[in-house]
Chains A and B, each alone.
Chain A
Amino acid sequence: MSGHIPRPDLSARPVVVVKNLGKRFPGMKKPALNDISGEIYPGSITGLVGPDGAGKTTLLRLLVGLLLPDTGTITVAGFDAATEADRIHPITGYMPQKFGLYEDLSVIENLRLYADLRNVLGKERREKFEQLLRFTDLARFQSRLAGKLSGGMKQKLGLACALLGEPKLLLLDEPSVGVDPISRRELWQMVQQLLSGGMSVIWSTSYLDEAEKCDAVILLNEGGVLYDGPPAELLHKVRGRTWRLAGIAQNERRALLMDILAARGVTDAMIQGRSIRIAAKKDADAQGGGIAGDAAISGLDWQRTEPRFEDAFIDMLGGAPLGRSAIGELIREKAPSDKPVIDARALTKRFGDFTAVRDNSFRIRRGEIFGLLGPNGAGKSTTFKMMCGLLQPSSGKAFVMGLDLKKSSSAARSRIGYMAQKFSLYGALSVLQNLKFFSGVYGLSGKIRQQRIELMLSLFNFGNLQHMSAETLPLGFKQRLALACSIMHEPDVLFLDEPTSGVDPVTRREFWLHINAMVQKGVTVMVTTHFMDEAEYCDRIALIYRGVNIATGTPDELKEQVRGAELPDPSLEDAFITLVRQSDAEKEQ
């Protein structure tokens, strides 16, 4: 945080005033937004957080006049959003979830279009373009088509387009979804600079580390406001309830985490390298006594630790999904094996004269979680697709369970579960129909098939939604369904390509509860993610950049690699960013 200007400026008139706002969509039982009130002050950044389907996007659309409220009023800079939307549009910048870029127009053509639409002309336009291109570091890519930009660059261009015409209010709808940590950090810095000009920003996000850095947060849940105020104040609610268990053996972390999540008095627990972070319930005994009373976790080294926004967030939403995963209890233990389950030997993939993956080798043991990290466009998904037999490597070999994917890919594939990055189920089929279809495709039949389908329905709480078509599900449920479809046939190996992209923190914990439980039964998992807290769950990580594996190791080993005077206690995100920058520096030399 820049810190030198006190923000938000509460003495000024609020830019946005929302009073008793309500919105209900036809066909929905509950209102999308219910009696929301609040104010946004100039020169501040407000984080809009909450689980999927909480109403974040709906609120942003209402603010910019793209939806009409059913009840209540919204004014933006004194104009009524329902009746004077045409007065609001010139003074707001809005970046919708998909960035709103024309993919078949170049960077500069997109800018020109939005400049014309926003009446930015002449000298002002030249200056603004120059400033924005420098600001976003897109000057070199002016003539590149927007569709050919990486995720991070698209997001910056989307921001640049929204910033044309000096808006007073900037609305960003989940700008960091699917964007790597480096681009995320850059975007955050860009927005910080804008605030000094007096602009107000509303930033919807499912990254709680971003929310923590905002001047104010609005926490939405089920259409209502759970909290509205500075993030630091929310921390009071969990102060004294957060603990850290340090120095846990690498191979015992997962079992211990599962025990802790099943113990009384716990509201949240996460792996962080070789320690586990725990938040206790409000009424749980301090000193962790109430928790530590559980036999399995007594006698460990409990240390108090500072609360984070995320602890408070999870606490306010009623805690993380706890207990033990039913799927973990049910599946059979996978046969032990000394041989690597996944074996990539010098994998290389070229598309024309572009090398997407170069000479990538790794081995993954049974019951191991192996993470592929890297910036957008680094070659993670390409590596993934080669490992599942969806892409033929240009050279090198890929083995799964000892089977060569080139020769016996269908035999190998029946042992694999794959969850693609994009939603790849049948949108027109209902939840139940998708489950039936995929169980059939994977060769399940009769009683077992019926049992599995029922298990998935109850495991992921599809109860009321089972007849809803998949495309109309909220994002979090879509991802749940995709995960359900990929694990029904009890695969030995699970490939998860950004399984939690755009999913809220509570649902993400639920995913990892199941993944960890399956891994304990010997399932081998390969995963990509942009969430560094999820990367901490990995036993080993390969950091891929420009198609090359630039570092492999346990999360703590990677952090160790970058520890120094500047970074005495590096986070995994610091490690990621530093290692990528080092690779850049080496390349330039």
Chain B
Amino acid sequence: MRRLVALIRKESLQILRDPSSILIAFVLPAILLFIFGYGVNLDSNRMRIGLVLEDSAPDIASLATAFGNSGFFDLRVGRDRREFEEDLVAGRLRGIVVIPRDFTAKGAKRGGQASLQVISDGSEPNIAFFVQNYAQGVLQVWMRHQNEDYGAQIQEPMRVEPRFWYNEELKSRNFLIPGSIAVTMTLIGTLLTALVIAREWERGTMEALMATPVTIFEILLGKLIPYFLLGLGSMTVCWLAATLWYEVPFRGSFFALMAATSCFLLTALGQGLLISSFSKNQFLASQLALMSAFLPALMLSGFVFEIASMVPVVRGVSYIVAARYFVSSLQTLFLTGDIWPLFIRAMLAMLLISAVFFIFTAKKTVKRLDA
């Protein structure tokens, strides 16, 4: 016990004095939160488009105003589509909406069909799709108002009123930030642990430690406990930043957050310890940690890419990525609340994965150099 305490104290002093662990535990999360909080935005608010008014009828002015006020577009208005073509090619515009010369004429005819032309950049399908849909939406709303103004009572057969639960404003930030916290925890748990153990090998301190009466379990626990606490500390900072600065709602309990984090940290630390038992230099350790922990946490956790839309094989692989369970728990905690059945299932999965890591680590690690 005294030996364990001594090892923990030593590790804590090292964490405090080593700028790189502070960097990974606190500065890196801040940068990640900044990128995902401000930089990455999967919503397409205020897309820059060109609006070409070939038709000069008086009603058209109100249509242009409708486009401008819709909140979806950042408009540039012109008379000829050729004005905008170059900008679309250069990517300065997301699309061009053309109101053709015969627009009012066709629409005025009874039973006539007024149509707009939407030109968008198909190399970014997602955005092209948004431009198209939003333009159509603006047009429909405008036409309804036109009809009402003219006193025509047109009975719409049905109307869909969408309402989004949990993330009412459909802000992608609200689910990206919880996801990025999971990535941060992966880095602390796996990358940092693997690195510090590899460093002990490189500097020869591991050899000196192993020649003392300390046991291998004390050495492993002496690494695990400090980085576990560091992870919980970093999580608290991330949580405060997410809720106070980025104003992501938090509807679960702090207790549930810590419980889920603890389970996830065990898997991440277990993976870090296992990596360090294979690789005794820092470069290899960091490569292994990035490949086997960071990338899956980024790509296969459902944090950015929807798991449901992955091909079945990849979806299958995602079940052994602990980050998957952690990301879904975090998103639930932030946006929905304490849904214990979901948490318990996720926590059990994470504990199972960590148990596998620890069993392999225990088998692989002996108090010798040639293992």
Query: Could you tell me which A residues sit within 8 Å of B by CB distance?
Result: 25, 61, 64-68, 85-86, 89-90, 92, 94-105, 109, 112-114, 116-119, 121, 145, 161-162
B368 CB to nearest chain A CB (Å): 6
Q: Which of B3, B7, B18, B369 contacts A104 (CB 8 A)?
A: B18
Q: Which of B18, B207, B212 contacts A117 (CB 8 A)?
A: B212
Bound together, the chains give a CA A124 to CA B300 distance in angstroms of 56
A456 CB to nearest chain B CB (Å): 28
Can you name the residue of chain B whose Cβ is closest to the Cβ of A85? B367
Q: Given the known inter-chain contacts A99-B204, A100-B205, A104-B17, please indicate yes or no for A66 contacting B10, CB distance below 8 A.
A: no
Chain B residues near A145: list those with CB within 8 A: 17
Q: Which of B2, B213, B369 contacts A89 (CB 8 A)?
A: B213
Q: Are A86 and B213 in contact (CB under 8 A)?
A: yes
Chain A residues near B13: list those with CB within 8 A: 104-105, 109
User: 1/0 contact trace for B198-228 toward A, CB 8 Å?
Assistant: 0000011101111111110000000000000
17 examples of A-B residue contacts, CB within 8 angstroms:
A65-B367, A66-B211, A66-B368, A67-B370, A68-B370, A96-B204, A98-B203, A98-B204, A99-B204, A100-B205, A100-B208, A105-B10, A114-B212, A117-B3, A117-B7, A118-B213, A119-B213
Q: Are B213 and A90 in contact (CB under 8 A)?
A: yes
Q: Are A117 and B214 in contact (CB under 8 A)?
A: yes
Q: Are A103 and B203 in contact (CB under 8 A)?
A: yes
Chain A residues near B6: list those with CB within 8 A: 112-113, 116-117
Is residue B5 within 8 Å, beta carbon to beta carbon, of the partner chain? yes
Bound together, the chains give a CA A117 to CA B7 distance in angstroms of 8
Residues facing A in B1-40 (CB within 8 A) are: 2-3, 5-7, 9-10, 13-14, 17-18
Q: Given the known inter-chain contacts A67-B369, A68-B370, A105-B13, please indicate yes or no for A117 contacting B204, CB distance below 8 A.
A: no
Bound together, the chains give a CA A121 to CA B5 distance in angstroms of 14
Bound together, the chains give a CA A145 to CA B370 distance in angstroms of 31
Residues facing A in B313-371 (CB within 8 A) are: 367-370
B285 CB to nearest chain A CB (Å): 16
Q: Are A95 and B369 in contact (CB under 8 A)?
A: no
Chain B residues near A92: list those with CB within 8 A: 211
Can you name the residue of chain B whose Cβ is closest to the Cβ of A63? B211
Residues facing A in B208-261 (CB within 8 A) are: 208-215
Q: Are B208 and A95 in contact (CB under 8 A)?
A: yes
Q: Given the known inter-chain contacts A104-B17, A105-B13, A116-B6, please indicate yes or no for A94 contacting B213, CB distance below 8 A.
A: no
A581 CB to nearest chain B CB (Å): 32
Q: Given the known inter-chain contacts A61-B369, A85-B367, A104-B14, please indicate yes or no for A117 contacting B5, CB distance below 8 A.
A: no
Place the interface of chain B in its size category.
20 to 34
Q: Which of A65, A67, A117 contacts B209 (CB 8 A)?
A: A117
Q: Are B208 and A116 in contact (CB under 8 A)?
A: no
Q: Are B14 and A102 in contact (CB under 8 A)?
A: yes
Chain A residues near B368: list those with CB within 8 A: 65-68, 85
Q: Which of B7, B18, B211 contacts A94 (CB 8 A)?
A: B211
Chain B residues near A99: list those with CB within 8 A: 204, 208
Q: Are B211 and A64 in contact (CB under 8 A)?
A: yes
- The interface centre, meaning the residue of A25, A68, A102 with most chain B CB atoms within 10 A of its CB, is A102
Q: Are A97 and B370 in contact (CB under 8 A)?
A: no
Bound together, the chains give a CA A109 to CA B12 distance in angstroms of 12
- The interface centre, meaning the residue of B2, B18, B203 with most chain A CB atoms within 10 A of its CB, is B203
Q: Which of A68, A100, A114, A162 contacts B204 (CB 8 A)?
A: A100
Q: Which of A90, A98, A116 contacts B2 (CB 8 A)?
A: A116
Q: Are A105 and B14 in contact (CB under 8 A)?
A: yes
Q: Are A109 and B213 in contact (CB under 8 A)?
A: no
Can you name the residue of chain B whose Cβ is closest to the Cβ of A428? B283
Can you name the residue of chain A whose Cβ is closest to the Cβ of B16? A104
Can you name the residue of chain B whose Cβ is closest to the Cβ of A103? B203
A556 CB to nearest chain B CB (Å): 40
B8 CB to nearest chain A CB (Å): 11
- The interface centre, meaning the residue of B212, B214, B367 with most chain A CB atoms within 10 A of its CB, is B212
Can you name the residue of chain A whose Cβ is closest to the Cβ of B3? A117
Apart from A66-B369, A103-B203, A118-B213: 4 A-B pairs, beta carbons within 8 A: A25-B370, A89-B212, A94-B208, A117-B209
Chain A residues near B215: list those with CB within 8 A: 86
Chain B residues near A103: list those with CB within 8 A: 203
Bound together, the chains give a CA A119 to CA B2 distance in angstroms of 8
Bound together, the chains give a CA A68 to CA B368 distance in angstroms of 8
- The interface centre, meaning the residue of A25, A66, A101, A121 with most chain B CB atoms within 10 A of its CB, is A66
Bound together, the chains give a CA A101 to CA B212 distance in angstroms of 13
Q: Given the known inter-chain contacts A67-B370, A102-B14, A105-B14, please indicate yes or no for A118 contacting B212, CB distance below 8 A.
A: yes
Q: Are A100 and B3 in contact (CB under 8 A)?
A: no
Chain A residues near B205: list those with CB within 8 A: 98, 100-102
Chain B residues near A114: list those with CB within 8 A: 212
B338 CB to nearest chain A CB (Å): 41
Chain B residues near A100: list those with CB within 8 A: 204-205, 207-209
Bound together, the chains give a CA A119 to CA B7 distance in angstroms of 13
Can you name the residue of chain B whose Cβ is closest to the Cβ of A113? B10
Q: Can you list the 5 inter-chain pairs with the closest CB atoms, starting with the nearest?
A: A100-B208, A116-B6, A98-B204, A94-B211, A117-B212
Bound together, the chains give a CA A118 to CA B6 distance in angstroms of 11
B49 CB to nearest chain A CB (Å): 52
B116 CB to nearest chain A CB (Å): 61
Chain A residues near B14: list those with CB within 8 A: 102, 104-105
Chain A residues near B367: list those with CB within 8 A: 65-66, 85-86
A414 CB to nearest chain B CB (Å): 32
B28 CB to nearest chain A CB (Å): 20
A395 CB to nearest chain B CB (Å): 32
A84 CB to nearest chain B CB (Å): 12
Bound together, the chains give a CA A85 to CA B215 distance in angstroms of 11
Can you name the residue of chain A whose Cβ is closest to the Cβ of B206? A100
B57 CB to nearest chain A CB (Å): 73
Chain A residues near B212: list those with CB within 8 A: 89, 114, 117-118
Bound together, the chains give a CA A73 to CA B210 distance in angstroms of 20
Q: Are A66 and B213 in contact (CB under 8 A)?
A: no
Bound together, the chains give a CA A95 to CA B208 distance in angstroms of 7
Q: Which of A25, A90, A119, A161 contacts B208 (CB 8 A)?
A: A161
Q: Given the known inter-chain contacts A89-B213, A95-B208, A100-B205, please indicate yes or no for A116 contacting B370, CB distance below 8 A.
A: no
Q: Are B10 and A109 in contact (CB under 8 A)?
A: yes
Bound together, the chains give a CA A96 to CA B203 distance in angstroms of 10
Bound together, the chains give a CA A105 to CA B205 distance in angstroms of 12
B5 CB to nearest chain A CB (Å): 7
Q: Are B211 and A116 in contact (CB under 8 A)?
A: no
Can you name the residue of chain B whose Cβ is closest to the Cβ of A158? B208
Q: Which of A25, A85, A96, A102 contacts B207 (CB 8 A)?
A: A96
Bound together, the chains give a CA A119 to CA B9 distance in angstroms of 16
Bound together, the chains give a CA A97 to CA B5 distance in angstroms of 27
Can you name the residue of chain A whose Cβ is closest to the Cβ of B367? A85
Residues facing A in B170-213 (CB within 8 A) are: 203-205, 207-213
Bound together, the chains give a CA A118 to CA B210 distance in angstroms of 12
Chain B residues near A95: list those with CB within 8 A: 208
Can you name the residue of chain B whose Cβ is closest to the Cβ of A171? B211
Bound together, the chains give a CA A94 to CA B214 distance in angstroms of 14
Q: Given the known inter-chain contacts A114-B212, A117-B212, A117-B213, please indicate yes or no for A102 contacting B10, CB distance below 8 A.
A: yes
Bound together, the chains give a CA A222 to CA B198 distance in angstroms of 30
